[in-house]
Amino acid sequence: MSDRPVPSGRVAITGVGAVTPLGTGVDKFWSRILAGESAVERITLLDPSEYSTQIAAEVKDFVAEDWLDKKEARRIDRFIAFAAAAAQMAIQDSGIQLTDELREEFGVLIGSGIGGLTFLGEQHRRQIEGGPSKVSPFLVPYMIPDMASGYVSILHRLKGPNTCVVTACATGANAIGDAYHIIKRGDAICMLAGGSEAPINELGLGGFCSARAMTTRNDEPHRASRPFDKDRDGFVIGEGSAVFVMEDYDFAKKRGAKIYGEVVGYGMAGDAYHITQPDPEADGAYRASRMALRTAGIRPEEIGYINAHGTSTYYNDKGETQAIKRAFGDQAYKIPVSSTKSMIGHTLGAAGAIEALICILAMRDGKLPPTINYETPDPECDLDYIPNVARDAQVSLSMSNSYGFGGHNVSLILKRGE
C-alpha cells in the first residue's frame, strides 16, 4: 500500500465467522452455547453401527451451496467448505473493503489438524474398486491441510502471507497466535485466521476408536461429553470451523471498524513426552500459560475467565487442572473455567479457534458459558468449572488453552474490546 501504516504492535479482532455443531453463524451458535445445549447425537454422516463409538457432534444445518459455486461445493472436501463459509462470514462482519491495494497486505492462515480425510477416503475407495484411473486429479490439493488457506486466499484474491499450521488439536490456537505475530511485526496489515476440521468419516472414526480415546456412552449422547466430571470416559468427536478477521489496531481504528477484542498474549511449549498422552506433570501446558501471561505483560490475577481445552478424557482434564493451579497458584480457585467441548465435542484443529471465539463473545456480553454434564466432582479436578448453567460476569481478559497430540501446548490471551 502506498500509505502503508507503521505497525502499532497491537492486533484487533474485527470480524468473526463460525460453522459449528450448534449452528452455522455466530449468533445461532452463541445463543445455544449460553443455553447449555448439547449437539451430540448418533452419527448420520456414515453408518456407525460397527464402531465402538457411535455418537458425534455433527454440523447439521450447513449448506455448502449457500457459500460456494454449486460445482465447487459438490467437489471440495467438507473442511475446505467450512473454512470458506466461516471466512466469508468474518469478512462480511468486519465491514472491510477489499481494495486491490489492501489485498496485497491481507493474508490467510487457516489451519487443519487432519485436512481432507473424507475426500481421501472416497478416492481410496474409488481406486480399490476401479483402479488408479478412477482417482480424482483433485485428490492431493483437496486432501492437504493447507488448502483451506489456499482456497480462501484464491476466493478473495488475498495476496499477503498465505500459510497453514498443523499442530493437531492446538492448530486453531496456533493459527491465531501466528497471525498475531505476522501483523504485529508488520508482515501484513490484516489476516484471516482460524481453524477448520471435518473428521467424522470412516477413517477418522476408525482411528480414534482404535486409539480408545473416545467415549462409548452411545445410549446417552447428550450426556457423553463431561469434562472434569469424575465419570468422564473419553472425548466426543466434532467438526466445524471458526475464522477471525484480525487487523493492525491503528488501521482498524482509522477505518472505524468495530473491535470485538484484541489478541494480547500467545504462549506455546512442547511436552517432549509421548505422541498422544499428555505429560503427567503438565509441564508443557503450564509453560505455555506462563509464556502467554509474560508476552501479554499481565499478572495472573488479571485473568477473569479460562476456556479450558477440557476434552473429557481422564489424563487431559486432570493435567490441565494441574497446569492451571501451577500457573495461577491460589488464584486458580477464583478464576471461572469452562469446557465448551461438553456441548460441541472436540473439533480437533478447529477447537482452538472456536474456543477463542467463545472467549471474545463471553467478554463482549458479560456471560460465561457453562461446562454441562458436570455432575460428580472429581477430587483431582477441583476448580470452578461453571457447572451446567451460564454465569453473568464482567471480564476484561481471558485465556484459551489448546493442547494437541505430539505434545503441542498453546495458550492465547484475549482482551475485551473497548
Predicted pLDDT at 3: 66
Examine the domain organization and report whether 144 and 57 are in the same domain: yes
> Where is the domain boundary, 228, 254, 280?
254
Q: The domain that contains 156 carries what CATH number?
A: 3.40.47.10
Q: What does the pLDDT profile of the chain (418 residues) look like in tens digits?
A: 656 778 889 999 999 999 999 999 999 999 999 999 999 999 999 999 999 999 999 999 999 999 999 999 999 999 999 999 999 999 999 999 999 999 999 999 999 999 999 999 999 999 999 999 999 999 999 999 999 999 999 999 999 999 999 999 999 999 999 999 999 999 999 999 999 999 999 999 999 999 999 999 999 999 999 999 999 999 999 999 999 999 999 999 999 999 999 999 999 999 999 998 899 999 999 999 999 999 999 999 999 999 999 999 999 999 999 999 999 999 999 999 999 999 999 999 999 999 999 999 999 999 999 999 999 999 999 999 999 999 999 999 999 999 999 999 999 999 999 8
Do residues 251 and 5 lie in contact, with contact meaning Cβ atoms separated by under 8 Å? yes
Predicted pLDDT at 4: 72
Examine the domain organization and report whether 315 and 378 are in the same domain: yes
Residue 145, in any domain of the structure? yes
Q: Could you write out the DSSP letters of every residue in 330-394?
A: GGGGGS-EE-THHHH-B-GGGHHHHHHHHHHHHHHHTEEPPBTT--SBBTTB-S---BSS-EE--
Helix 117-130 vs helix 202-210: crossing angle, to nearest 10 = 110
Examine the domain organization and report whether 137 and 82 are in the same domain: yes
Examine the domain organization and report whether 131 and 209 are in the same domain: yes
C-alpha 217/C-alpha 135 separation (Å) is 37
Residue 5, in any domain of the structure? no
Q: Is 314 helix (H, G, I), strand (E, B) or coil?
A: helix
Catalytic residue among 164, 190, 346, 408: 346
Q: Give me 29's grid cell.
A: 451458535
Known catalytic membership, residue 359: no
| CA 257 to each of CA 171, 243, 415: distance values in angstroms, whole numbers, following the listed order | 27, 17, 16
Examine the domain organization and report whether 188 and 246 are in the same domain: yes
Extended strands (E) in 234-366 = 240-248, 261-270, 305-307, 337-338
Query: Which has the closest alpha carbon to 376: 289, 317, 297?
Result: 317
Q: How many domains does the chain contain in total? A: 2
> Where is the domain boundary, 254, 280, 295?
254
Examine the domain organization and report whether 290 and 231 are in the same domain: no
Catalytic residue among 164, 169, 190, 381: 169
Q: Is 10 helix (H, G, I), strand (E, B) or coil?
A: coil
Examine the domain organization and report whether 51 and 159 are in the same domain: yes
Examine the domain organization and report whether 292 and 250 are in the same domain: no
Cβ-based burial of 100 (10 A; exposed 0-12, middle 13-18, buried ≥19): exposed
Do residues 398 and 306 lie in contact, with contact meaning Cβ atoms separated by under 8 Å? yes
- Is pTM, for the whole model, over 0.75? yes
Residue 239, in any domain of the structure? yes
Examine the domain organization and report whether 200 and 277 are in the same domain: no
Residue 124, in any domain of the structure? yes
> Where is the domain boundary, 254, 281, 303?
254
Residue 261, in any domain of the structure? no
Examine the domain organization and report whether 348 and 406 are in the same domain: yes
Residue 1, in any domain of the structure? no
- 214 Cβ neighbours under 8 A, 6+ residues apart: 52, 53, 208, 234, 235, 236, 237
| CA 14 to each of CA 93, 121, 161, 243: distance values in angstroms, whole numbers, following the listed order | 8, 37, 19, 11
Q: Give me 114's grid cell.
A: 487432519
Q: Which domain holds residue 333?
A: 266-416
Predicted pLDDT at 8: 87
DSSP state of 193: E
Examine the domain organization and report whether 298 and 236 are in the same domain: no
Examine the domain organization and report whether 178 and 304 are in the same domain: no
Q: Could you write out the DSSP letters of every residue in 128-140?
A: HHH-GGGS-TTHH
Catalytic residue among 164, 190, 209, 309: 309
Any idea which residue has 457411535 for its cell? 54
